[in-house]
Amino acid sequence: MTQSTDQHDGAERKWVGKSIRRVEDPRFLTGRGHYVDDISLPGMLHAATLRSPYAHARITRINVEAARQLPGVVAVVTGAEAAELCNPMPDFGPAPDKHVWRCLAYEKVRYVGESVVAVVAESRYIAEDARDLIEVEYEPLAPVVDPEAALEPGAALVHDALGSNLAYERTFKFGEVDRDFAEAEVVVRDRLRWHRSSGQPLETVGAVADFDIGSGKLTIYCNSLTFTHFLFMVANTLNVPSNKLDMIPINAGGSFGSKFWAVKVPVVAGMLAKLVGRPVKLIEDRLDNISNSDHHGSDRIYEAEMAAMRDGTLRSLRLKVIDDYGAYIQFGTGTHGNSLAQLTGPYRIKSAQYQLQAALTNKNQQGAYRGFGSEVTNWMVERMVDLVARQLQMDPVAIRRMNFIQPDQFPYFIPTGNMYDSGNYEAVLNKAVEMLDYDAWRKEQERLRQQGRYVGIGVISAQERSVFSATEFWFWFDEPAAKVTSSPESVRLNVDATGSVTATLYSQAFWGQAAETMVAQLVAEEFDVDPYSVAVVYAGSNNGLPATGPGGSRFTVMVAGAVRGAAERIKDKAFKVAEHLLEANVADLEWHDGAVRVKGNPSRSKSLAEIALWTHLFKHSLPDEIESGLEANKVYDHPYTTMPNADRTNLGVFYPFVGHACHLPVIEVDIETGHISFLKYVAVHDAGTVVNPRSLAGQVVGGTAQGIGTALYEQFVYGPDGQLLTGSYMDYLIPTSMEVPELEIGHVETPSPFTVHGIKGGGEGGRMMTPAALSAAIDDALSPFGVRCNELPATPDRIVQWIEAARDKQTSTG
């Protein structure tokens, strides 16, 4: 792999910036990963749920007697019984009482796969046997499948109480949109269709719940623990006091957003454990994770218009978006908050209009998938820029270069109100162009076209917003229920009597993205210790500190702030101890290489280990005010948030640490089969200061692989009757090693002026760039036909159809 880094930050760092091997890996390499399904408690039972075969139906009768009679079955719980045991699921959407979401379907099923009955038995085998004995009678209702038809008058209703399938609608206007369109010399329009896919981690969502009837405490081990300050809502669902719910984070075997607040499985397990008084394990099977997940990705239809001048200057963007949220709307329109964070891309576009209609249909609900909606925005923006370039016959590199926000314009406020902290987009583009040898490939493309080969070069330059704040979940509403402003991350550092450091994390930080290595390197940087000597552990929520967890590429930035804050507190105390031990004034002391020393007299110093020993064992040899021990907590809050204005013409700063990337794939399209092969792929990312370059590169490659899936292969297809037609990996196609090319990766480092070490998030960038890049490459390869890639995934089937349609058009007009 080619990997090169342009470093722009002059700071001297010992551990941040080193590609050390990951501290968490030995336990995974040896198969001792301790995932949630590896947990086994004494007396533990196993649960399975019966899923709906209908997209939309009334439940008229359920007979569970035969299931209850089966030897080994301990309990069978119907949706109606669950509605007695539990309150509705936590819902952050608009008007949650109008589209109530429950852990088991009640009265009505609203998508194929929705859980209807839960069974608890001595083994999963028996639970599934019993599930087969359950009789459910349904009265099928008209399925609501197409999101545009769902919004038509007279459409069947997914939720009767709402009275329509429109969960939310709003039009935002940022800047002088009408003027910019009126003055534009060029306006391009297109309809863009992005179909739904999802993270599909190889490990599904699971939970083991254990209810202690003596104390009333409900412990739930699960692979999703985020937003600990909102867990009182889960406790409310489960009818337990919030201080009697302890959620214990367990390593996740991948998430990609799909374990970002995935609470349905923990709730079902918790409900069952409370009911039967024994531990209960519930692990989604693959069909659950595909058809009954908390988190399908975005599913959007754009009617997009972009205004520009004849010289290529981009002026404005006007959008109408319909998003198919499926049957429930747990996060409201947060995925469009992400869109508004970087709506105008890296360009000096002065105004934008955004009309959103959130549709409810009889499909699995939407949630998070790597990019959380902003990856779709990147695709849309880049598609529209390409359309302007096509119209003006401009090179795609040239039009981007002339519209970039310039390095001296940061911090830059985009029309929506969000801020981009820093950036050097031209440096990223230049590096990518140089790594690819863009001009040489243009010549090569020309040469190959003479031979009848359809080679295309994709050029995109797009944003990677990171570190969300809480306002994006409510600025949608004029009168939100609560204007929440907290999205903290916490850490506790303990220095024991030998000077060894333990870092405690309070969310389920490990999704695969090296969270523990990040913490170990950051702690090592603070104390000049070996990162492998740092122990990283997790605390349960019951005795925890506020934590939001990973998601929105926030974890490394936030935990770096927390580690810095806790380390400063420990050092403050260490200086006080050293002041006494070295008989020096604190003003004359400095931290150097793991010790406090007297300035100008390196021989007079006390190491962290020496100071730790004193604080732990020799309290009465120290000044009275110094307590025993050497530890500190830090609750680190979002470092840069501003409030939206009253009329929402400015949403404030809510996603401010904005990375950037340029992807340049070179592909060849087989016009007979629609097959795409890669000739080269260059990806240059700027995520600010990089903590572990190899790890970040791994995120880029992995995210790009997922982006290839999104762009070319992956789609949850629902038939006209609402049946899910892609219920297995035979139909839902995840890229293998043969579909993913070798990437050449470059990093540019433009440190953030607002974060510790200048770090920006970098975990989602690959998937946020690739769909746009491949769409551009497909257009470029098929430019002789005038094909326009405006629907993803661009499956071989679609590509062949596009070519045929274009040929027909050429024939009829020629």
Partner 1 sequence: MSDYRRVKMVVNSQLVEREVEVRRLLVDFLREDLGLASVHIGCEHGVCGTCTVLLNGETIRSCITFAVQADGQEITTVEALSQGGKLHPLQEAFWDQQGLQCGYCTPAMILRSLEILRDTPNPTRAEVREGIAGQLCRCTGYQFIVDAVLDGAQRMRAASAVAAAATEAPQEPVLVGMHAEGTPADEITSSGHPPSSQPPGSPLSKTEHGPAPDEVARHVAEEEPYEDEPHRLAGEGENRGAITQQPPVEEEQRP
Least CB distance to partner 1 at residue 447 (A): 25
Nearer to partner 1, 256 or 354 (CB): 256
Count Cβ atoms below 10 Å from residue 34 Cβ, excluding itself. Answer: 11
Contact pattern for partner 1 over residues 56 through 95, marking x by CB under 8 A: ----------------------------------------
> Residues with Cβ < 8 Å from 446, sequence gap 6 or more?
none
Residue 9 contacts partner 1 per CB under 8 A: no
Q: Which of 705, 774, 703 minimizes the C-alpha distance to 739?
A: 705
The CA–CA distances, whole Å, from 496 to 267, 500, 526, 576, 627 equal: 37, 5, 16, 17, 14
Least CB distance to partner 1 at residue 44 (A): 11
> In this chain, which of 728, 811, 812, 813 binds partner 1, going by CB under 8 A?
728
Residue 725 contacts partner 1 per CB under 8 A: no
Helix/strand/coil for 62: strand
Nearer to partner 1, 605 or 710 (CB): 710
> In this chain, which of 367, 415, 552, 702 binds partner 1, going by CB under 8 A?
702
φ, ψ (nearest 5 deg) of residue 532? -75, -10
Nearer to partner 1, 312 or 735 (CB): 735
Least CB distance to partner 1 at residue 322 (A): 29
**Residues pairing with 347 in the sheet:** 404
Helix/strand/coil for 781: helix
Least CB distance to partner 1 at residue 283 (A): 8
First CA to last CA distance, the chain:
47
Nearer to partner 1, 199 or 688 (CB): 199
Contact pattern for partner 1 over residues 140 through 179, marking x by CB under 8 A: ----------------------------------------
Least CB distance to partner 1 at residue 95 (A): 35
The CA–CA distances, whole Å, from 531 to 22, 384, 574, 598, 750 equal: 10, 46, 20, 26, 25
Residue 482 contacts partner 1 per CB under 8 A: no
Residue 765 contacts partner 1 per CB under 8 A: no
Query: Which stretches does DSSP call E strand in 175-313?
Result: 186-194, 206-212, 217-222, 245-249, 280-283, 300-308
Nearer to partner 1, 618 or 729 (CB): 729
Residue 30 contacts partner 1 per CB under 8 A: yes
Residue 397 contacts partner 1 per CB under 8 A: no
Contact 195, 792 (CB under 8 A): yes
Residue 543 contacts partner 1 per CB under 8 A: no
Residue 385 contacts partner 1 per CB under 8 A: no
Nearer to partner 1, 29 or 142 (CB): 29
Least CB distance to partner 1 at residue 379 (A): 19
Contact 242, 231 (CB under 8 A): yes
Residue 270 contacts partner 1 per CB under 8 A: no
Contact positions with partner 1 (CB under 8 A) in 276-305: 285-286
Span of 48-56, 199-207, 454-462, 520-528 interacting with partner 1 by CB under 8 A: 199-207
Angle between helices 264-276 and 231-238 (to 10 degrees): 40
> In this chain, which of 7, 11, 34, 107 binds partner 1, going by CB under 8 A?
34
Q: Which amino acid is at 294?
A: D
> In this chain, which of 167, 388, 740, 759 binds partner 1, going by CB under 8 A?
740
Contact positions with partner 1 (CB under 8 A) in 122-141: 124-125, 129
> Residues with Cβ < 8 Å from 414, sequence gap 6 or more?
342, 343, 344, 349, 420
Determine the size of the site formed for partner 1 (CB under 8 A): 62
Contact positions with partner 1 (CB under 8 A) in 510-529: 510-514
Contact positions with partner 1 (CB under 8 A) in 655-694: 694
Least CB distance to partner 1 at residue 237 (A): 28
Least CB distance to partner 1 at residue 373 (A): 20
Query: Which stretches does DSSP call E strand in 580-620?
Result: 589-592, 595-598, 601-607
Token pair listed for 349: 């576009």
Q: Alpha-carbon distance 528 to 655, whole Å? A: 32
Residue 37 contacts partner 1 per CB under 8 A: yes
**DSSP codes joined into one string, 666-681:** EEEE-TTT--EEEEEE
Contact 558, 636 (CB under 8 A): yes
Q: Which amino acid is at 520?
A: A
Contact 50, 136 (CB under 8 A): yes
> In this chain, which of 17, 79, 90, 201 binds partner 1, going by CB under 8 A?
201
Token pair listed for 682: 């260059």
Nearer to partner 1, 26 or 602 (CB): 26
Least CB distance to partner 1 at residue 426 (A): 27
Span of 314-322, 561-569, 606-614, 737-745 interacting with partner 1 by CB under 8 A: 737-745
How far does CA 621 lie from the centroid of its chain? 51
HEC secondary structure over 105-148: CCCEECCCCCEEEEEEECCHHHHHHHHHCCEEEEEECCCCCCHH
Residue 762 contacts partner 1 per CB under 8 A: no
Nearer to partner 1, 255 or 418 (CB): 255
> In this chain, which of 79, 175, 199, 546 binds partner 1, going by CB under 8 A?
199
Q: Alpha-carbon distance 409 to 378, whole Å? A: 21
Residue 793 contacts partner 1 per CB under 8 A: no
Nearer to partner 1, 204 or 365 (CB): 204
- CA torsion 592→596→601→603, rounded to 10°? -100
Query: Which stretches does DSSP call E strand in 195-271?
Result: 206-212, 217-222, 245-249
**Residues pairing with 596 in the sheet:** 591, 606
Alpha-carbon dihedral sign for residues 114, 79, 48, 367: positive
> In this chain, which of 55, 119, 186, 252 binds partner 1, going by CB under 8 A?
252
Residue 530 contacts partner 1 per CB under 8 A: no
Contact 581, 614 (CB under 8 A): yes
Least CB distance to partner 1 at residue 38 (A): 4
Residue 21 contacts partner 1 per CB under 8 A: yes
Span of 194-202, 375-383, 426-434, 567-575 interacting with partner 1 by CB under 8 A: 194-202
Span of 53-61, 238-246, 354-362, 733-741 interacting with partner 1 by CB under 8 A: 733-741
User: 630-656: string of b/e by CB count within 10 Å (b at 16+)?
Assistant: bbbbbbbbbbbbbebeeebebbbbbbb
Least CB distance to partner 1 at residue 259 (A): 10
Span of 375-383, 542-550, 701-709, 799-807 interacting with partner 1 by CB under 8 A: 701-709
Nearer to partner 1, 130 or 596 (CB): 130
Least CB distance to partner 1 at residue 467 (A): 21
Query: Which residue has 């100008």 as its token pair?
Result: 600
Residue 698 contacts partner 1 per CB under 8 A: yes
Q: Alpha-carbon distance 273 to 269, whole Å? A: 6
Least CB distance to partner 1 at residue 700 (A): 8
> In this chain, which of 15, 16, 17, 22 binds partner 1, going by CB under 8 A?
22
Contact 446, 784 (CB under 8 A): no
Least CB distance to partner 1 at residue 743 (A): 6
| Contact positions vs partner 1 (CB under 8 A) | 1, 19, 21-22, 24-35, 37-38, 40, 124-125, 129, 199-203, 251-256, 285-286, 510-514, 694-695, 697-699, 701-706, 728-730, 734, 736-738, 740, 742-743, 766
